[in-house]
Amino acid sequence: MTIAAGRHTHLAAQRAHLAALPTPPEHVVVAMGDPQIADVVGEAAGVHVVEVPAPPGHLPLALARNTGVQRSLDLGAELVVLLDVDCLPGHALVDGYASAASRLGDALLCGPVTYLPAEAGSPAPDQLDRWTSPHAARPAPGDGELVRGGDHRLFWSLSFACTPATWRRLGGFCTDYDGYGGEDTDLGMIARRQGVDLVWVGGAHAYHQHHPVSSPPVEHLDDILRNAATYHRRWGEWPMEGWLQAFAERGLVTYDGSAWRRVDGAQEASS
């Protein structure tokens, strides 16, 4: 399952890689306010497009993911795999997640993610392996290895999987989050509260396609402030602290002892 708004070239590449898998999976694509998504994915067998309204520049990520997973369950999915539109599936991603789910049952499954460098371009499916270099901030077990007892705060939604029973136990992403940031860390915390293990799945590789990014993501400043406050209200701690501190260093936000707030004039500074 993939959510998308724009990123048409990335989505087309992802579709090509999914179609090249030994057994192409059913693929639910949620279009967030982007009617062109249906044309990008075409009418290939096993592809299902769901539309979620969204005003320009707004990303209802939590709602879109929940909507896509529900459609997957309605279609009879025995395992739900969520993959960001920027990500290409390794040849063993789906099979690796499926094997882990059959061995463990109730668990939140995450695979290693490689951030492709610009020079990689858009590799063909049979060329992905040569670029494998998992992100150092997350565990990267060997092929077929499962690392249990993961730190739930390290959960990320770029690439993960769970059974329908686990999804229902977690209740999906909290839709109190509106826009960019925080909703994936929140799901990890829900899993911890529910006693659902976070397991890193060796060999279930995903490859994040290169594109320019801003660091910190100043274009999402308001979303991050709003969603950070939501997270703090729910869990009693601040998420995305690296970004919040970076915003503060730029003079865009300040911490007043109880909350992070936009500095007067920050709109101009962040535009």
Classify the C-alpha dihedral 178-174-211-121 as positive or negative: negative
pLDDT of residue 215: 86
pLDDT of residue 268: 38
Cα radius of gyration rounded to whole Å, the chain: 18
Q: For residue 208, what are the contacts with CB-CB under 8 A and spacing of at least 6? A: 84, 86, 87, 88, 113, 114, 115, 116, 158
Residue 131, phi then psi, degrees to nearest 5:
-100, 0
Helix (H, G, I), strand (E, B), or coil: what is residue 71? helix
Q: All domains of the chain, ordered by start, with CATH?
A: 2-208 (3.90.550.10), 218-270 (no CATH)
Helix (H, G, I), strand (E, B), or coil: what is residue 30? strand
Distances in Å between the Cα of 154 and the Cα atoms of 8, 69, 169, 185 are 28, 21, 20, 7
Contact 84, 159 (CB under 8 A): yes
pLDDT tens per residue, the chain (271 residues)? 999 999 999 999 999 999 999 999 999 999 999 999 999 999 888 999 999 999 887 899 999 999 999 999 999 999 999 999 999 999 999 999 999 999 998 999 999 999 999 999 889 999 999 999 999 999 999 999 999 999 999 999 999 999 999 999 999 999 999 988 999 999 999 999 999 999 999 999 999 999 888 889 999 999 999 999 999 999 999 999 999 999 999 999 999 999 999 998 665 343 3
pLDDT of residue 271: 36
Report the DSSP beta bridge partners of residue 207. Answer: 88, 114
DSSP one-letter code for 218: G
